[in-house]
């Protein structure tokens, strides 16, 4: 099979800019594809939070992007994804990207997100033409890149880049990029595209919908989520579009970077360990307890949380059952996250009431995220919806059985513990209620305290699983080839 030219366009790329797991995916899959001989390149915005240092080089030629009334001028900074030859191009634009946040500031979503991300879409395609590098396929990620398939089907169809196929990956259907019609004018897309089977939803422009109608093929990040989003109760209003495009939609479970996330070699945790010897993990637990100021006790069952604080993640369920769990069970919690103000306040209250049992860090802290994965005995993820979820994969890789609600990718990636057999990798519950979660925490506790051999087997089962990109990268290559053939009309 000949190597492919693949362009990733994304609002987030780990480790340069990260809000959630989308960044992890875009920071890792391109490297795996490049290792297999493909020419993969990545484009993202040069947000104010990205430190442009000597590892970046500026492109001489300014980036004139044909959006708005008069062209918008940007600049391109080039670097590489760490430990790889994959080029990363960061697009600078003072007005649109010189601010630290990706999607939202302290007062909510940036009101010019439609313009900012239209610039990203058109800018990425302009850059390819400038480089004389026409990708076979453009891999788009979530609503911010939804105008790429639209542009390639309309305004740019007859240009050299118009032959590129597109694959749109839905990381989270909940966020769709609703905006005013001005976005179409700004993108120079014909006004006729403002219709229900293209970009229009409820009288507004919907950037995700544009991507879903116009991309050559669609993927999402787990098989179960690909089914859920075709149903009215799981499609966030776009289920009809996904049913319409069902023949072009595939669910591919995310892989993880098994080099970055490896407890045997991880230099960011205080002690490394393997499935044969958990000594280092016990020491990580003590380090975590010390770091968060809770009592240092090797015997207590310690439950970790690393999450965006958002309704999607179901952490309100945890906040509601925390007092009864902390008072009724011999447990500790290590919680890292930020987002929803009401949830932050609930966790702060609980941490103040139970200082020796609940350790809390409000904010984003990549190092602490790893220490929680390594030092906890269980990982809690009560998501209402979860397209894939990476933190439960990291937890299993670090020997920390996850407690998850049975939804989306959590169904596909966690195997239910079967008491008496020692089989399984974690604990799944069905109902999105505080009671169901508290019960499952209780189940985990009794396994930890009363069935320690089975608990150890659970840990080992998770660590023995292959969560690397291996198989999923092959599936993406199949989808790229399928899309390229479809675009050529084969
Ligand atoms: P989502 O993308 O929906 O947030 P995922 O489980 O796919 O959920 O990915 C979340 C990613 O973000 C993981 O890499 C996780 O470690 C990281 N993360 C989430 N919250 C924080 C935080 N407060 N500090 C550091 N890393 C975080
Ligand atoms: C989204 C989803 C999460 C998924 C991640 C990476 O943020 O919420 O479930 O793991 O994207 O695909």
Q: Are residues 132 and 72 in the same domain?
A: yes
Q: How many domains is the chain built from?
A: 2
Ligand 2 in reach of 410 Cβ (< 6 A): no
- The answer for residues whose C-beta is within 8 angstroms of residue 16's C-beta and 6 or more apart is 27, 44, 50, 88, 90
- The residue whose two tokens read 């902390």 is 326
Specify the CATH number for the domain of residue 220: 3.40.50.2000
Helix/strand/coil percentages in the chain, nearest 5: 40, 20, 40
Instruction: Encode pLDDT of 311-323 as tens digits.
Output: 999 999 999 999 9
Task: Choose one of 389, 393, 394, 404 to mutate for the ligand 2 pocket test, by most ligand atoms within 8 angstroms of C-beta.
Answer: 389
Q: Are residues 294 and 208 in the same domain?
A: no
Does residue 17 lie within any of the structural domains?
yes
For residue 2, the CA-to-ligand 1 centroid distance in Å is 35
Q: Are residues 69 and 188 in the same domain?
A: yes
Instruction: Encode pLDDT of 150-203 as tens digits.
Output: 999 999 999 999 999 999 999 999 999 999 999 999 999 999 999 999 999 999
Q: Are residues 388 and 474 in the same domain?
A: no
| Calpha distance 143→103 (Å, rounded) | 11
Q: Are residues 384 and 335 in the same domain?
A: yes
Does residue 274 lie within any of the structural domains?
no
Residue 216 has a pLDDT of 98
Nearest atom, ligand 2, residue 409 CA: 9
Q: Are residues 216 and 142 in the same domain?
A: yes
Q: Are residues 187 and 303 in the same domain?
A: no
Ligand nearest to the CA of 169: 2
Say what the pTM is: 0.97
Rg of the chain on CA atoms, in Å: 23
- The residue whose two tokens read 């990636």 is 413
CB 335 within 8 A of CB 358: yes
| pLDDT surpassing 90 at residue 139 | yes
For residue 389, the CA-to-ligand 2 centroid distance in Å is 5
Domain, as residue range, for 295: 279-464
| pLDDT surpassing 80 at residue 490 | no
Q: Are residues 433 and 473 in the same domain?
A: no
Does residue 289 lie within any of the structural domains?
yes
Does residue 361 lie within any of the structural domains?
yes
Question: Could you tell me which of 249, 214, 217 has the C-alpha nearest to residue 235?
Answer: 249
For residue 128, the CA-to-ligand 2 centroid distance in Å is 27
- The answer for residues whose C-beta is within 8 angstroms of residue 182's C-beta and 6 or more apart is 114, 115
* Phi-psi map region of 132: left, alpha, beta (phi>0 left; psi -120 to 50 alpha): left
Task: Choose one of 388, 402, 409 to mutate for the ligand 2 pocket test, by most ligand atoms within 8 angstroms of C-beta.
Answer: 388
| Calpha distance 422→29 (Å, rounded) | 33
* Token reading at 124: 């990425």
State mean pLDDT over 274-280: 96
Q: Are residues 200 and 170 in the same domain?
A: yes
Question: Could you tell me which of 256, 269, 259 has the C-alpha nearest to residue 370?
Answer: 269
Task: Choose one of 13, 174, 221, 225 to mutate for the ligand 2 pocket test, by most ligand atoms within 8 angstroms of C-beta.
Answer: 221
Q: Are residues 168 and 196 in the same domain?
A: yes
Q: How confident is the model at residue 13 (pLDDT cuts 50, 70, 90)?
A: very high
| pLDDT surpassing 80 at residue 132 | yes
| pLDDT surpassing 80 at residue 28 | yes
| Calpha distance 198→193 (Å, rounded) | 6
Q: Are residues 244 and 296 in the same domain?
A: no
Q: Are residues 94 and 197 in the same domain?
A: yes
CB 263 within 8 A of CB 272: yes
Does residue 109 lie within any of the structural domains?
yes
Does residue 341 lie within any of the structural domains?
yes
Residue 171 has a pLDDT of 98
Residue 83 has a pLDDT of 94
Does residue 185 lie within any of the structural domains?
yes
CB 374 within 8 A of CB 269: yes
For residue 88, the CA-to-ligand 1 centroid distance in Å is 22
Does residue 128 lie within any of the structural domains?
yes
Q: Where are the alpha helices (DSSP H) in 61-216?
A: 94-97, 113-131, 147-153, 182-187, 207-214
Instruction: Encode pLDDT of 324-373 as tens digits.
Output: 999 999 999 999 999 999 999 999 999 999 999 999 999 999 999 999 99
Task: Report the percent of the chain where pLDDT is more than 70.
Answer: 100
């Amino acid at each position: 099979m000949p190597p492919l030219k693949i362009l990733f366009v994304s609002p987030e790329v780990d480790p340069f800019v990260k809000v959630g797991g989308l960044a992890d995916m875009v920071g890792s899959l391109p490297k795996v594809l490049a290792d297999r001989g493909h020419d993969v390149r990545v484009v993202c915005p040069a947000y104010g939070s990205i430190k442009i240092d000597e590892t970046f080089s500026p492109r001489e030629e300014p980036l004139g992007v044909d959006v708005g009334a008069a062209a918008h001028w940007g600049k391109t900074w080039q670097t590489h994804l760490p430990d790889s030859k994959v080029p990363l191009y960061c697009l600078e634009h003072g007005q649109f990207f010189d601010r630290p946040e990706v999607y939202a500031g302290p007062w909510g979503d940036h009101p010019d997100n439609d313009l900012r991300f239209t610039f990203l879409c058109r800018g990425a395609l302009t850059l390819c033409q400038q480089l004389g590098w026409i990708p076979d396929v453009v891999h788009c990620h979530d609503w911010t890149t939804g105008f790429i398939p639209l542009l390639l089907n309309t305004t740019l169809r007859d240009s050299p880049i118009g032959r590129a196929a597109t694959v749109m990956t839905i990381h989270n259907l909940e966020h769709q990029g609703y905006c005013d019609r001005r976005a179409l004018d700004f993108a120079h897309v014909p006004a006729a595209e403002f219709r229900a089977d293209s970009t229009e939803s409820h009288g507004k422009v919907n950037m995700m919908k544009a991507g879903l109608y116009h991309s050559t093929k669609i993927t999402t990040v787990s098989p179960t989520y690909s089914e859920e989003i075709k149903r009215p109760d799981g499609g966030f209003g776009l289920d009809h579009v996904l049913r319409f495009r069902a023949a072009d939609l595939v669910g591919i479970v995310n892989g993880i970077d098994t080099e970055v996330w490896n407890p045997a070699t991880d230099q960011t945790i205080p002690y490394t360990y393997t499935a044969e010897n958990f000594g280092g993990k016990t020491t990580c637990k003590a380090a975590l307890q010390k770091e968060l100021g809770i009592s240092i006790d090797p015997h207590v069952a310690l439950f970790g949380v690393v999450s965006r604080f958002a309704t999607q993640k179901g952490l309100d369920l945890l906040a509601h059952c925390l007092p009864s769990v902390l008072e009724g069970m011999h447990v500790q919690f290590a919680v890292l996250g930020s987002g929803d103000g009401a949830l932050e306040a609930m966790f702060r209250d609980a941490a103040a009431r139970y200082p020796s049992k609940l350790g809390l860090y409000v904010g984003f802290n990549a190092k602490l995220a790893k220490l929680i994965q390594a030092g906890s005995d269980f990982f809690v993820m009560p998501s209402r919806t979860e397209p894939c979820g990476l933190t439960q994969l990291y937890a299993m890789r670090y020997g920390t059985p996850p407690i998850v609600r049975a939804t989306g990718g959590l169904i596909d990636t966690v195997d239910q513990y079967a008491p008496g057999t020692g089989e399984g990798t974690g604990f799944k519950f069905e109902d999105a209620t505080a009671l169901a979660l508290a019960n499952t925490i209780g189940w985990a506790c009794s396994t930890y305290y009363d069935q320690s051999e089975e608990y150890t087997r659970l840990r080992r089962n998770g660590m023995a699983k292959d969560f690397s990109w291996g198989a999923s990268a092959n599936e993406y290559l199949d989808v790229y080839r399928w899309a390229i053939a479809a675009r050529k009309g084969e």
